[in-house]
């Protein structure tokens, strides 16, 4: 169940995960394919999902090391050739902005993908991981704070503090376990094509079709088509 039935216009902030939420791919999988290490990265991801004792930070750093030597030009080319926005992403962000909400992209993905996504959608704030490069090649390391579930939650809290609003006035949209912290803080947690662990905790699920259905759900109107429900 939604904590309180409110319209989208009653909220102050909407925070989006990026990979498989705003966009159709997982950044690191696409980049790993460029260096012929997609299977290795997939195995590392699968191991971390199956074994909770493997720290997320260690797993991510191991996967990023697989990208060592990839030219930045190929990173940018991969974005241009492989990334598409999920249905309704543009429309939902534009609608939220039109209603006066501030928008944020908070992602464990990489700035080389996140920045063009932010610009294309007109998103106000961005928090993401940053790949280190030297002489035009990825070093296989990250720069600065590693963005994990804790940092995603911290980002939502910091944005609410900046906007002088309670976290109950924020909406968090995501699909995976790294989104659970910020979802727990937000007034509304939205699972978009969500993993089972997110499905158990989300207030709203969008399983098929357009992200824009969220506007109908929070407007108190019947959502058209299959795949949207509230809890």
Q: Which residues are catalytic?
A: 17, 19
Q: Strands 102-110, 170-174: parallel, antiparallel or unpaired by DSSP?
A: unpaired
Q: What is the DSSP string of 77-145?
A: HHHHHH--BPTTHHHHHHHHHHTT-EEEEEEEEEHHHHHHHHHHHT-SEEEEEEEEEETTEEEEEEESS
Q: Check if the beta carbon of residue 70 is closer than 8 Å to that of residue 78.
A: no
Residues linked to residue 71 through DSSP beta bridges, in sequence order: 137
Q: What is the DSSP string of 100-118?
A: T-EEEEEEEEEHHHHHHHH
Which residues 6+ apart lie within 8 Å of 147 measured at CB?
106, 107, 108, 127, 128, 129, 155
Distance (Å, whole) CA 229 – CA 217: 8
Distance (Å, whole) CA 107 – CA 163: 20
Distance (Å, whole) CA 135 – CA 185: 41
């Amino acid at each position: 169940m939604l904590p309180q039935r409110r319209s989208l216009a009653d909220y102050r902030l909407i925070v989006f995960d990026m990979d498989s939420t705003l966009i159709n791919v997982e950044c690191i999988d696409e980049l790993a394919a460029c260096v012929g290490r997609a299977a290795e990265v997939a195995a590392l991801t699968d191991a971390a999902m199956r074994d909770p004792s493997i720290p997320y930070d260690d797993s991510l750093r191991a996967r990023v090391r697989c990208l060592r030597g990839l030219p930045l030009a190929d990173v940018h080319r991969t974005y241009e050739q492989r990334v598409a926005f999920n249905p309704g992403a543009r429309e939902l962000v534009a609608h939220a902005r039109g209603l006066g909400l501030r928008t944020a992209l908070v992602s464990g993905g990489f700035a080389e993908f996140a920045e063009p996504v932010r610009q294309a959608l007109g998103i106000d704030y961005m928090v993401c991981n940053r790949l280190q490069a030297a002489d035009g090649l990825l070093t296989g390391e990250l720069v600065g704070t590693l963005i994990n579930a804790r940092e995603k939650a911290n980002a939502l809290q910091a944005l609410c503090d900046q906007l002088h609003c309670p976290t109950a006035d924020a909406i968090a949209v995501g699909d995976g376990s790294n989104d659970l912290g910020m979802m727990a803080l937000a007034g509304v947690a939205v699972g978009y094509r969500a993993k089972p662990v997110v499905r158990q905790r989300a207030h709203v699920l969008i399983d098929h079709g357009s992200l824009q259905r969220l506007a109908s759900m929070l407007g108190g109107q019947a959502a058209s088509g299959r795949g949207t429900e509230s809890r």
